[in-house]
């Protein structure tokens, strides 16, 4: 009898322990709030950072830089320090001092104490400035010292720029550098197709393999940034740049890759898309349609281009700045813009307002 009582008591005790364990497990795994993200944590504990972020989103770049500097004084650890220096550099670059922005981006990229992602983003922005500004001052600042000096090729500015993005990719495979690199290769494929020889055919096969890996890296990046409130803003740009690469591959006659129009449409369907990536997406989509279909899709092309010359929606974007700076063809896009002008007279007039002369 006593043995039965003891066994019953032991079973009750074990059952109670099991119930308590289940309750504790459920509480900590289902009832607790998810851990706060690094970005939100920084917003909540650093008032200067939160205020500077608001200024940055309002395009008050010079003011934002000053508040990011205040936030930097309260940085805790290398991760926050790298993030805040990156934000200061971004504010300089978007604002009135891109040369100072480049110098600070370089500092972030070179510091091995900072995260690989923030270092890669810093180099990404250096490369982007070679497109959006493309001035002698910017080019000199980028390529004046190592490792960037070794990237410079006097007779091949396009490859020089690609090498900057190669460096970003070596730090961490972000979507935009991967696609900038892939675009260089897709354009090279179109060039090599015009040349005869088995050697060039083999080069094309190798380049398509590189592009395939870059697209895999890009798709992984898109999944990663879906959970990142800061980087999520790059989604539209990544998608339209993906369309640029896929468009070249389709123009080369390769139908084994994805549909470029789907990538462009996905980019333009994002409700929160900003003016600059929207302008770039429409411009490159229009170029693809014109090169692929000629005059067959002219109405679609004109619809895509209309916001450039109707109103001022895109007037202050990097896309329009880049078009203005492309009069001399340094970035390799001049023929594309002239092609658009040849089928849309209002776009031709828009180019004239940006200082383009001798447009038929």
CB 48 within 8 A of CB 56: no
- Output the pLDDT for position 197: 86
Per-residue pLDDT averaged across 86-91, rounded? 97
301-340 burial code (b ≥16 CB/10 A, e <16): bbebbebbbeeeebeebbbbbbbebbeeeebebeebbebb
Q: Give DSSP secondary structure letters for 202-254.
A: HHHHHHHHHHHHHHHHHHHHHHHHTT-TTGGGGHHHHHHHHHHHHHHHHHTT-
pLDDT reading at 304 higher than 90: yes
- Output the pLDDT for position 332: 86
Per-residue pLDDT averaged across 208-217, rounded? 98
Instruction: State the Cα–Cα distance between residues 164 and 147, nearest whole angstrom.
Output: 9
pLDDT reading at 35 higher than 70: no
Per-residue pLDDT averaged across 211-221, rounded? 98
pLDDT reading at 12 higher than 70: no
Per-residue pLDDT averaged across 305-327, rounded? 92
Per-residue pLDDT averaged across 251-273, rounded? 96
Q: Which domains does the chain have, with CATH numbers?
A: 41-157 (1.25.40), 173-273 (no CATH), 295-360 (no CATH)
pTM of the model as a whole: 0.87
pLDDT-derived band at 170 (thresholds 50, 70, 90) equals very high
């Amino acid at each position: 009898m006593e043995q039965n009582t003891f066994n019953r008591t032991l079973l009750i005790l074990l059952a109670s322990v099991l119930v308590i364990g289940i309750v504790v497990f459920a509480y900590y795994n289902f009832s607790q709030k998810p851990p706060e993200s690094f970005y939100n944590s920084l917003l909540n504990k650093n008032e200067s950072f939160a205020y500077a972020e608001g200024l940055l989103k309002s395009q008050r770049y010079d003011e934002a830089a000053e508040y990011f500097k205040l936030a930097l004084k309260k940085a805790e650890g290398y991760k926050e320090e790298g993030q805040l220096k990156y934000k200061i550099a971004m504010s300089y670059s978007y604002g009135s001092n891109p040369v100072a922005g480049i110098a600070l981006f370089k500092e972030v990229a070179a510091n091995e104490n900072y995260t690989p992602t923030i270092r890669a983003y810093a180099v990404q922005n250096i490369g982007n400035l070679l497109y959006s500004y493309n001035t002698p001052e910017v080019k000199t600042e980028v390529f004046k010292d190592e490792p960037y000096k070794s990237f410079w090729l006097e007779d091949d500015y396009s490859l020089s720029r690609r090498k900057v993005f190669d460096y970003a990719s070596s730090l961490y495979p972000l979507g935009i550098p991967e696609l900038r690199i892939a675009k260089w290769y897709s354009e090279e494929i179109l060039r090599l197709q015009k040349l005869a020889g088995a050697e060039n055919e083999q080069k094309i096969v190798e380049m398509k393999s590189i592009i395939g890996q870059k697209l895999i890296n890009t798709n992984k990046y898109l999944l990663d940034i879906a959970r990142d409130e800061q980087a999520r803003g790059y989604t539209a740009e990544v998608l339209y740049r993906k369309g640029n690469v896929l468009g070249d591959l389709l123009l080369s006659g390769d139908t084994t890759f994805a549909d470029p129009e789907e990538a462009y449409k996905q980019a333009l369907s994002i409700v929160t898309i900003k003016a600059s990536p929207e302008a770039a997406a429409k411009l490159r989509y229009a170029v693809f349609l014109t090169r692929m279909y000629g005059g067959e899709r002219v109405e679609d092309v004109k619809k895509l281009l209309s916001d450039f010359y109707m109103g001022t929606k895109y007037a202050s974007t990097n896309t329009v700045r880049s078009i203005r700076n492309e009069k001399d063809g340094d970035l390799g896009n001049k023929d594309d813009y002239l092609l658009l002008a040849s089928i849309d007279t209002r776009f031709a007039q828009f180019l004239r307002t940006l200082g383009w002369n001798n447009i038929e």
